[in-house]
Structure 1
Amino acid sequence: MIAGLVAFITIILIGLFVVEQKGERISSSFKLDLSVFKGKFLLFFIVMLVFTLGNSSDAFLILRARSVGVSESTIPIIIAMFNLFYALLSVPSGVLSDKIGRVNVIRLGWIIYAVTYLGFALAKLPWHIWVLYAIYGVYYSTTEGVAKSLVAHIVDDSNRGTAFGLYNASMGLLALPASFIAGYLWDKVSPAAPFYFGALCSIMAVVLITLFKIEKS
């Protein structure tokens, strides 16, 4: 109920105070232009597919927390702590990306992700989960907004909306097989296996984004 009320307030604020700058209208007809799949955007898209394949649903983090003895009543508090770290560090991460480059910050975030997932794989005690969720918030702060900023940076203005649509749609679609793989590994191998796989995919993405030299100077 509270979340719905907040969402309603944002609609009012947007309607009253947000004014979009009108650009030149090119065409009134809808046309999906896949020519955006080229150059640096295509390379970044491939890297993101590799990373996302190991980025299963965060529900597996909750399952892992329960498997090492974290109580159900404590999990919402841990998630709130994660969101606090994410919120507090998002702006500094954005500032850092302006100073050292978006790719460098994303690379840092993926390394943190790999370390965090290795931690979840090896976790034995409830306090381990507290620490790992805090570090996981750091990962989110370095990748969520910065990755979208990179997309805007490496595509032309005329294709930016299409690029964002394809990027978000593809990442969303790939979340299904990523979670299926994680679930299969959890059931057939061990609860630690999905996190080893996620860490491996993250390291592979770090190597690829380094080799591809994606960001414009």
Structure 2
Amino acid sequence: MLKAKQAGLNDTAVIGVYIFYNLVYALCAFPIGIFADKIGLKKMFVFGLLLFSIVYFGMAFSTNIYTIAMLFFIYGVYASATEGISKAWISNISDRKDTATAIGTYSGFQSICTMLASSLAGLIWYQFGANATFIITGIATIFISIYFSFFVETKPL
């Protein structure tokens, strides 16, 4: 949102971009879920992470409002490819009797880690600027994608 604001959008347009992102997310969630059932949750999750890194690298180097709008479109697809997929994956690998506990634990840790990551991103943004924040996040996401691709099992425990 801050990047959209820095690109010259007024507050109303920034809110519009956020609504656009949520609309893309909502419209893509169901078809991406169907596709994930066909290709596998892990593959879809990694694909979503790669989209996230594309968005962040794009945000680092773009000041064009139309490019930023396209990146928010991709960001909505990323959310569709990771949010529900991660919970479905957790429900597939946890014992049936522990599914709600597993998803609740995941959600709790996700919230804590999001807060910590956002704080760290804010510090990097403040010290080194927006571009450094986006580039570092994009690189970290590539490493996370590699980790999930090669070192994470998809079979139930």
**Shared fold by TM > 0.5?**
yes
For residue 19 of structure 2, what is the aligned residue in structure 1?
80
Q: Is the 8 A contact 1:110 1:139 kept in 2?
A: yes
Q: What whole-Å deviation, never above 9, does each CA across 1:121-178 have from its counterpart, x for those lacking one? A: 1111222221111111110111110110000000111221221121111111111220
Alignment TM-score, normalising by the size of structure 1: 0.69
2:146 to 207, 212, 215: 207
Q: Distance in 2 between matches of 1:161 and 1:132?
A: 33
**Number of aligned residue pairs:** 156
Is the helix fraction higher in 1 or 2? 2
Q: Distance in 1 between matches of 2:122 and 2:23?
A: 28
In structure 1, the gaps of 5 or more residues are 1-61
In structure 2, the gaps of 5 or more residues are none
Alignment TM-score, normalising by the size of structure 2: 0.94
2:9 to 70, 74, 78: 70
**How many Å apart are 1:213 and its aligned residue?**
3.8
Q: Distance in 1 between matches of 2:101 and 2:10?
A: 44
**How many Å apart are 1:80 and its aligned residue?**
1.5
Larger Rg over CA atoms: 1
Q: What whole-Å deviation, never above 9, does each CA across 1:72-95 have from its counterpart, x for those lacking one? A: 121121112111111111011100
Asked if 1:124 is matched to 2:63, the reply is yes
For residue 141 of structure 1, what is the aligned residue in structure 2?
80
- Quote the RMSD (CA, aligned, Å): 1.3
Q: Distance in 2 between matches of 1:216 and 1:91?
A: 24
Q: Distance in 1 between matches of 2:21 and 2:128?
A: 28
For residue 99 of structure 1, what is the aligned residue in structure 2?
38
Superposed, which structure 2 residues align to 1:6-21 within 5 Å?
A: none
Q: Distance in 2 between matches of 1:78 and 1:171?
A: 24
Q: Distance in 2 between matches of 1:127 and 1:164?
A: 37
- Amino acid in structure 2 at the alignment position of 1:134: F
Moved over 4 A (4+): none
SS in 2 for 1:74: helix
- Amino acid in structure 1 at the alignment position of 2:6: S
Q: Distance in 2 between matches of 1:161 and 1:122?
A: 41
Q: What whole-Å deviation, never above 9, does each CA across 1:41-87 have from its counterpart, x for those lacking one? A: xxxxxxxxxxxxxxxxxxxxx11111121121211211121111111
Identical-residue share of aligned pairs (%): 29
Asked if 1:111 is matched to 2:50, the reply is yes
Asked if 1:152 is matched to 2:91, the reply is yes
**How many Å apart are 1:203 and its aligned residue?**
0.8
Q: Distance in 1 between matches of 2:23 and 2:130?
A: 27
Q: Is the 8 A contact 1:69 1:125 kept in 2?
A: no
**How many Å apart are 1:184 and its aligned residue?**
0.8
SS in 2 for 1:91: helix
